[in-house]
Amino acid sequence: MTHVAVLHGGVSAEREVSLATGAQVVAALRAAGFTVTAIEVTRDLGAVIAALQAAAPDVVFNALHGRFGEDGCIQGVLDWLGVPYTHSGVRASSLAMDKEAAKAAFAAAGLPVAASRIVSPEELEAADPLPRPFVVKPVNEGSSVGVEIFRDGDNRRAEVARAWRFDRRIMAEAFIPGRELTVAVMGDRALEVTEIDTGNIFYDYEAKYADGGSRHTLPAPVHPAVRAQAMEIALRAHRALGCRGVSRADLRYDDTAGEPGQLFLLEVNTQPGMTRTSLVPEQAAHLGIAFPELCAWMVREARHGP
């Protein structure tokens, strides 16, 4: 019987999300017939390595989110240990987590991205980096941590710049009006398009994880040509980064002038949430793939190396 170690927790701002993901993955894998050991990850990397060596799993299910969990760091450790693991390898993980590098890869692949530039906190404090409305976001955080939108009349820019606590590279990006769409990719297959509706200004951390924070419409009520294009963009983005296993592409759909509108790729998440109600499991279930079956498929697809 295959023995799977599930890494969850971690040290990023998304620790609680990872703990929730890990708990549900552990239950799903046990339901699918695997022997499972849960390993909670803390800042003590030596303890994590010791726990992995003591468990001696056949496969690691990486249920970590955010920095050190999906940016290539833990993937490098697992490569060093020679243990196959779920999701993407070092190269794709580090590319996807760095929004500047990922956007360059998307642009090189001919994918539609919003206009953007990288600025320092001092440059942001001094002047608007782009015409308003624009968005600023950390280059290497997930789950919309640190994202701010600046519209006409908003005088918070200098305050936000002075309080900036993330990487000194700030991505300023043109704000795309319209609707929030997301597409899961499973191996070489785009699953479906979900529209995410929230009463918040944008799909922020609270909307993603608070009870009732957002509503998912599956399949998204969009023009058929837009659905097909969104699925194609997600699959091409997955390939452009060199992802494997499961990923999720987030897009904005500007239909303010009517349908069919214009799609923009925002980012690819190589470690999407994996609770039963998360976006990827929802899309899989829509296609008849139960949550334990999805988790089992990810274990079977586990690899190590780039």
From the list 85, 203, 205, 209, the catalytic residue is: 209
From the list 94, 267, 278, 282, the catalytic residue is: 267
Token code pair at residue 234: 């997600």
d(CA 30, CA 43): 27
| 250 noted as active-site residue | yes
From the list 248, 252, 278, 282, the catalytic residue is: 248
Angle at 35 between CA 298 and CA 81, to 5 degrees: 65
From the list 12, 94, 143, 144, the catalytic residue is: 143
From the list 88, 93, 94, 269, the catalytic residue is: 269
From the list 14, 148, 173, 180, the catalytic residue is: 14
d(CA 302, CA 95): 19
| 273 noted as active-site residue | yes
| 141 noted as active-site residue | no
Do 61 and 300 touch, CB atoms closer than 8 A? no
Residue 279's closest CA among 187, 180, 202?
180
CB atoms within 10 A of CB 200: 14
| 122 noted as active-site residue | no
β-bridge partners, 10: none
From the list 71, 180, 250, 282, the catalytic residue is: 250
| 140 noted as active-site residue | no
| 269 noted as active-site residue | yes
Distances (CA, A) of 205 to 17, 143, 183, 295: 10, 6, 18, 24
Check whether the bond before 112 is cis (ω within 30° of 0): no
Do 98 and 142 touch, CB atoms closer than 8 A? no
Q: How many residues does the chain have?
A: 306
| Ramachandran quadrant class, 66 (left: phi over 0; alpha: psi -120 to 50; beta: rest) | left
| 200 noted as active-site residue | no
Do 278 and 26 touch, CB atoms closer than 8 A? no
Which DSSP state fits 213?
S
Which DSSP state fits 175?
P
d(CA 100, CA 98): 6
Q: Annotated catalytic sites, by residue?
A: 14, 143, 209, 248, 250, 267, 269, 273
